[in-house]
Chain A
């Protein structure tokens, strides 16, 4: 029974608002280049409008003939994507200006990418999953290479493009096999067929494995992680911040929707071994290699690989605990990463050069606000209380212990201890080292400082009052499993 068209349209109102805003910004860029300085603020206004629409409008469930499922989960993920987009646009304006690359296309593409991620978050059909993934990826290829005169930026764009095309091919081939085996593109039907005992059908197993492998590229988990350091390092910092949270969140939600229906942990031992292996390998390898990095952005790339390893544990554990832990982890990870990259943008002299830890030496007493926000976010990434990173890891490991995956929790805690070493190294450089003789010339920027501060305050506030976040995530999961 198809829903009436106004229900359909209202359900995707936030996406429509962002799309219209993208078109408007493109026209302004083309015909009113004098207004270029205001594009960042206009984009932020559109994001605020979309967030308002998401909060004010009802979540009707299945819409558009069952290809999208706008439920509480989708609304939650939409809001976190919009928050990440808002912070990205906020720091992007001054960042692009100081690199002499202020162009409206940046905001247009960022808005398009967010629309793609939001569609992925509510997609319950293979076609919408794939198209959402593409609309998320294609603008990001260009955004990575946005500094066209910088070799490392172009390299980042090319690498992400090649790896992304590879991942899309995996996903698409897997989807074709799943369609062949189940005769449907509807996730609910596919999940039902698999749950009814088709899990051992080789066609289904290979198809599912290829879809998961393609999503693993987007998540940058081992063994599909190799692109992350170069892309993180080369991309413009606001893009790195966006890239490090939004595609990962969208891919995790698709995995969650698949895993929830099939009850992955009880499906077959092979899947548990595969996902647990990916999680443990990501945590261990990510943290070990991060220890020897000299570039902060590369270090954060390896840290991101490790963090997605923790999040995969929550996906594997499943059930209401595991699913809500994934959501908590995503929110925490978004604020920590946005804050860390914004602070890094404040503390870097040249954006097309490596961001060495050595260059941060002694900045703790000279750029106090930036250093403090960076420290907050790094402590949180290391999982220390009272920051939100602790809450997130606690939620994940609690879910793992409660569902009989004690060994995964032990590995995770051991890895968190290991990770503290490299986060603390940056903080050590900030506060315990003298300023080098030729101190880097940093350009202050109010919007970037504001972005970093808001993100750091979010990290602190959600860490001090974790119940708000935990309850919200639990309520979302209860409402969709009911």
Chain B
């Protein structure tokens, strides 16, 4: 059962990742990416990373992709005319790089020690959300609160720089 769900999620992820690159309509690119992220979330869940799966859906599929959509719509990007730069040399280099990266991935998978990933830290204790939540409000409390300061500073700076009317 796990194998079949994994294969389905992996196939969806690969197909829509290709679509995200190939399709010429920017809105469809972004929407394809949403589906890739959902499929990735399913794979994370299969690995026992329930918290990561939930965050993947909430943050990536939810917040970040909506942001992408807004940017695409605000910039009013037209449909792209044609794909690629029209230079065969670049296409060749690109495919060589892609083949190299694919080979690297396969080699890494082959070299992975057997059984790694079978023992999951959170899966045994009934999910990863509880330990992560505990860590955030105990051992990492300072860091957790400190990040809010970082965000506040970034927002103040962005608002100042982005302000339209100079007084």
Which A residues fall within an 8 A CB radius of B?
Answer: 2, 8, 12, 19, 26, 64-68, 103, 105, 108-109, 112-113, 115-116, 119, 125, 127-128, 131, 134-135, 138-139, 141-142, 145-146, 148-149, 157
Q: Contact between B153 and A128 (Cβ–Cβ < 8 Å)?
A: no
Q: Contact between A134 and B161 (Cβ–Cβ < 8 Å)?
A: no
Secondary structure of the B contact surface, majority rule: helix
- Knowing A131-B143, A131-B146, A148-B161, the reply to whether A112 touches B138 (Cβ < 8 A) is no
**A-B residue pairs in contact (CB < 8 Å), sample of 25:** A8-B142, A26-B156, A64-B141, A64-B142, A65-B139, A65-B141, A65-B142, A66-B139, A67-B139, A67-B143, A105-B159, A105-B160, A109-B157, A109-B160, A112-B149, A112-B153, A113-B153, A116-B153, A127-B140, A128-B143, A138-B154, A138-B157, A139-B156, A146-B160, A149-B166
A248 to B159: give the CA distance in the assembly, Å. Answer: 27
Using Cβ atoms and an 8 Å threshold, which residues of chain A touch B143?
67, 125, 127-128, 131
Query: How many Å from the CB of B62 to the closest CB on chain A?
Result: 24
Residue in B138, B142, B161 whose Cβ sees the most chain A Cβ within 10 Å? B142
Q: Contact between A142 and B146 (Cβ–Cβ < 8 Å)?
A: no
A82 to B150: give the CA distance in the assembly, Å. Answer: 19
Query: How many Å from the CB of B149 to the closest CB on chain A?
Result: 6
A2 to B134: give the CA distance in the assembly, Å. Answer: 14
Complex partner residue of B146 from A128, A138, A148, A157, CB under 8 angstroms: A128
A410 to B153: give the CA distance in the assembly, Å. Answer: 44
- Knowing A65-B139, A128-B146, the reply to whether A145 touches B161 (Cβ < 8 A) is yes
A138 to B141: give the CA distance in the assembly, Å. Answer: 22
Say yes or no for B147: interface residue by CB 8 A criterion. yes
Q: Contact between A134 and B160 (Cβ–Cβ < 8 Å)?
A: no
Q: Contact between B156 and A65 (Cβ–Cβ < 8 Å)?
A: no
Query: How many Å from the CB of B141 to the closest CB on chain A?
Result: 7
Interface residues of B in 109-142 (CB under 8 A from A): 138-142
Q: Contact between B156 and A109 (Cβ–Cβ < 8 Å)?
A: yes
Using Cβ atoms and an 8 Å threshold, which residues of chain B touch A65?
138-142
Q: Contact between A67 and B142 (Cβ–Cβ < 8 Å)?
A: yes
Q: Contact between B141 and A139 (Cβ–Cβ < 8 Å)?
A: no
A142 to B157: give the CA distance in the assembly, Å. Answer: 6
Q: Contact between A148 and B166 (Cβ–Cβ < 8 Å)?
A: yes
Q: Contact between B147 and A131 (Cβ–Cβ < 8 Å)?
A: yes
- Knowing A64-B142, A65-B142, the reply to whether A135 touches B153 (Cβ < 8 A) is yes
Using Cβ atoms and an 8 Å threshold, which residues of chain A touch B156?
26, 105, 108-109, 112, 139, 142
A134 to B152: give the CA distance in the assembly, Å. Answer: 12
Complex partner residue of B157 from A105, A115, A134, CB under 8 angstroms: A105
Q: Contact between B140 and A115 (Cβ–Cβ < 8 Å)?
A: no
Using Cβ atoms and an 8 Å threshold, which residues of chain B touch A141?
157
A26 to B160: give the CA distance in the assembly, Å. Answer: 11
A131 to B144: give the CA distance in the assembly, Å. Answer: 10
Query: How many Å from the CB of B160 to the closest CB on chain A?
Result: 4
Query: How many Å from the CB of A218 to the closest CB on chain B?
Result: 17
Q: Contact between A128 and B160 (Cβ–Cβ < 8 Å)?
A: no
- Knowing A26-B156, A109-B157, the reply to whether A134 touches B140 (Cβ < 8 A) is no
Q: Contact between A142 and B161 (Cβ–Cβ < 8 Å)?
A: yes
Q: Contact between A128 and B142 (Cβ–Cβ < 8 Å)?
A: yes
Q: Contact between B150 and A109 (Cβ–Cβ < 8 Å)?
A: no
A26 to B155: give the CA distance in the assembly, Å. Answer: 12
Q: Contact between A134 and B166 (Cβ–Cβ < 8 Å)?
A: no
Extra 5 A-B pairs, beta carbons < 8 Å, given A112-B152, A131-B150: A103-B160, A112-B153, A138-B157, A141-B157, A148-B161
Query: How many Å from the CB of A421 to the closest CB on chain B?
Result: 39
Complex partner residue of A138 from B140, B142, B153, CB under 8 angstroms: B153
Using Cβ atoms and an 8 Å threshold, which residues of chain A touch B158?
142
Q: Contact between A134 and B150 (Cβ–Cβ < 8 Å)?
A: yes
Using Cβ atoms and an 8 Å threshold, which residues of chain A touch B139?
65-67
